[in-house]
Chain A
Amino acid sequence: MRDVEFLGINPAVFLSTMVVAAMPVLLAAMGELIVEKSGVLNLGVEGLMIIGAVCGFIVSVETGSPVAGLLGALLAGAILAGIFGLLTQYFHASQVATGLALTLFGLGLSALLGQSYTGIRPPDFSIPNFGVLSELPVIGILLFSYDFLVYFSLALVVGIWWFLNHSRTGLALRAIGENHNAAHSLGYHVIRVRLVAILFGGACGGLGGAYLALIRVPQWTEGMTAGAGWIALALVVFGSWRPFRVVLGAFLFGGVTLLQLNLQALGIAINPAYLSMTPYIVTIAALVVISGMGSHASLRAPACLGKPFDATK
């Protein structure tokens, strides 16, 4: 098995690299999933990720601790998302416009903050030692070769699934996203719940960005998210607002990204520019297929997604 190769790629290595490639968008998409389930559309994921990337990078370089970097990214994402929450939930600003503002501001601010950090290598991220397990053929690479954040993210997916389907707060969150007026009249705190969801989404987006800058690349370059935040948004739609489907989508996306990079490296006779387009084109295609299918009510967008809520009316 170990020696079987496909286009010069070892399948096990390919799959494990795919998991790593999928992590940034997966984290951000899981955060956005919670936000959208509560009925809020935050188009600022790209901004959250890039701010997370730059803040995570700066903090880890300055402190020498990758974990501190991750915490910094988490916090930065949450703060930026907090601005979005404040504007949309309290000042009744348009969610679409504010989300776009978040992205534009995030891209600008990150470029400003990260100026003197380009070309530096961040402190290394240690990979947990699984001892003999990681020596196992195929399985060792597939299951026991990752940094702890990968395991954390996958646990987070399971946690989110459980939270949404089996916890009371999760039920309330879904109810608020489904019909905020009814939830309000039953006494649920629509705005408070949404604000918490937005902050959680921001933290996840920040973490996703930090993963990109600290582990996946690892380096800081201006605009390095290159649309990953938008792809995370698309993944939520692709996953029909269900956690495990989002994971599947993230892995597919990771796979396509990796495959096109590998093909470029192999020097295949296709213009590299066209290969670089494929992740975006695949995302569009996936969106079209999923949107065109027309699905059962339980797979549709939350009914109040993006609609403003005003308790005084």
Chain B
Amino acid sequence: MLQLEPRLENSRVWIIATPVIAVLCTIIAGGAMFALLGINPVQATQTIFWAPLFDPELSAYARPQILVKAAPLILIAIGLSIGFRANIWNIGAEGQYVMGAIAAGAVGLAFYPLDAWYIFPLMFVAGLVGGAAWGFIPAMLKTRFGANEILVSLMLVYVAEHFLASVSLGFLRNPDGSGFPGSRNFQQYESAANPELIAGTGIHLGVIFAIFVVALAYALIRFHRFGYQVNLTGKSLRAARFSGVNPTKLTIACLCLSGALAGLAGMFELTGPAGQLTIDFNVGYGFTAIIVAFLGRLHPIGITAAGLLMALTYIGGELGQFMLNLPSAAIQAFQGMLLFFLLSLEFLTTYRIRFKLKRDA
């Protein structure tokens, strides 16, 4: 008989091995899924995971794109992971991403067509504040009224999306856009643009900022009292109170922090790769970042690896669409599957499997 037995100390080997095994399982299960869709699974796997990185023709386009896609994912996931560590579940990053972009966009357009050095920094601040404010709403409603932050932050995604629709058709619409929906293009407004810094690498300010945030988060969690308090609160709320943590402040700090990082991701995306605010400006980074955070085991280094992997599946999925007629939704299902496999394997770190013969009592 199979038996699960709790381990006294978590297995270090499995902490690292489970994400890797989860990825392998997903590739196998995903292959089965592709086969069912009538697509050659080997070819599909190769297109998604190998071609963007090593194909001599495609990688020149794909490699920079991986960084472009990974930066917002990592940025958002880092913010979420700090909350998740403390059992504060912000799942409305998508909304905070949108609001950050809208706030930054509004500030940038307010200065158009002025040419000044301080416009981009102001937009940075606006993106930060916009996202943090949207994260502050569930924090306030939770600490003040006890309303569940999962539900509130999620509802606010829909509110933000409708707000995005209204502004991109309304007061932020490009007046010179001959009636087309969407704002002015920030890539063409130098003071507000976030261009590729080194041609052909995909590196823009957002990528640099994401690297900086990863390092900062690592230091925060490892060496700072705030990081300690976040971890402690997640492990035991009562012990945290006893230690002197103020859960109200911590909740507000975590939700505002993750909101701010999501807002900044939105800001960098708007001024860089996306270029303009449109109805379909947001493409689900806020939700995929949840997977990234879990896959990276809420650890900054892990999140970086997970973010790059997720970005790879996005790009690989796009290539698959061109080359194999792979449905675009396949990648989303693929990512969900990955999270499932990870969760189902996670017990290996805390439990030991024993084979036992049942004996008569």
Seen from chain A, the residues whose Cβ lies within 8 Å of a Cβ on chain B are: 43, 83, 86-87, 91-94, 96-98, 100-101, 104-112, 115, 222, 226-227, 230-231, 233-234, 237, 271, 273-274, 276-277, 280-281, 283-284, 287-289, 291-292, 294, 310, 312-313
A92 and B162 form a contact (CB under 8 A): no
Q: Which of B158, B291, B328, B344 contacts A280 (CB 8 A)?
A: B158
A217 to B6, CA, bound (A): 49
Evaluate contact between B141 and A284: CB separation under 8 angstroms.
yes
Q: Which of B66-74, B144-152, B253-261 contacts A (4 or more CB under 8 A)?
A: B144-152
Q: Between A and B, how many residue pairs show CB distances below 8 Å?
A: 145
Can you report 7 residue pairs joining A to B where beta carbons are below 8 Å apart? A104-B291, A107-B332, A108-B330, A226-B158, A230-B151, A237-B148, A288-B141
B346: A residues at CB distance < 8 A: 91, 93
Secondary structure at chain B's binding surface: helix, strand, loop or mixed? helix
**Cα separation A231 to B155 with both chains bound (whole Å):** 8
Complex interface: chain A residues within 8 A of B152 (CB): 284, 287-288
Query: At the interface, is chain A mostly helix, strand, loop or mixed?
Result: helix
**Does B351 make an interface contact (CB < 8 A)?**
yes
How many angstroms from the CA of A96 to the CA of B234 in the assembled complex? 13
B329 at the interface (CB under 8 A from A): yes
B151 and A287 contact, CB distance less than 8 A: yes
For residue B274, CB closer than 8 A to chain A, the reply is: no
Q: Is the CB of B151 within 8 A of A237?
A: yes
Query: Which A residues lie within 8 Å of B336 (CB)?
Result: 101, 104-109
Residues in B whose Cβ lies below 8 Å from that of A310: 6
Cβ of B340 and Cβ of A101 under 8 Å apart?
A: yes
Which residue from A91, A109, A273, A289 sits with its C-beta under 8 Å from B343?
A91
Number of B residues near A (Cβ < 8 Å) is 51
* B287 contacts chain A at the CB level, 8 A cutoff: yes
* B307 CB to nearest chain A CB (Å): 16
* Residues 304 to 361 of chain B near chain A (Cβ within 8 Å): 327-337, 339-340, 343-344, 346-347, 350-351
Closest 6 CB pairs of A and B: A105-B336, A108-B332, A111-B329, A273-B166, A108-B333, A292-B145
Chain A residues lying within 8 Å of B91, measured Cβ to Cβ, are 100
Could you tell me the distance between the alpha carbons of A96 and B159 in the complex, rounded to whole angstroms? 23
Contact B339 A234 (CB under 8 A): no
**Which A residue's beta carbon lies closest to that of B294?**
A97
Assembled-state Cα–Cα distance A237/B149 (Å): 13
A291 pairs with B147, CB closer than 8 A: yes
| In contact, B4 and A104 (Cβ under 8 angstroms) | no
Whether the pair A112, B163 counts as a contact (CB closer than 8 A) is no
Contacting residues, chain A, for B343 (C-beta < 8 A): 87, 91, 93-94, 97-98, 101
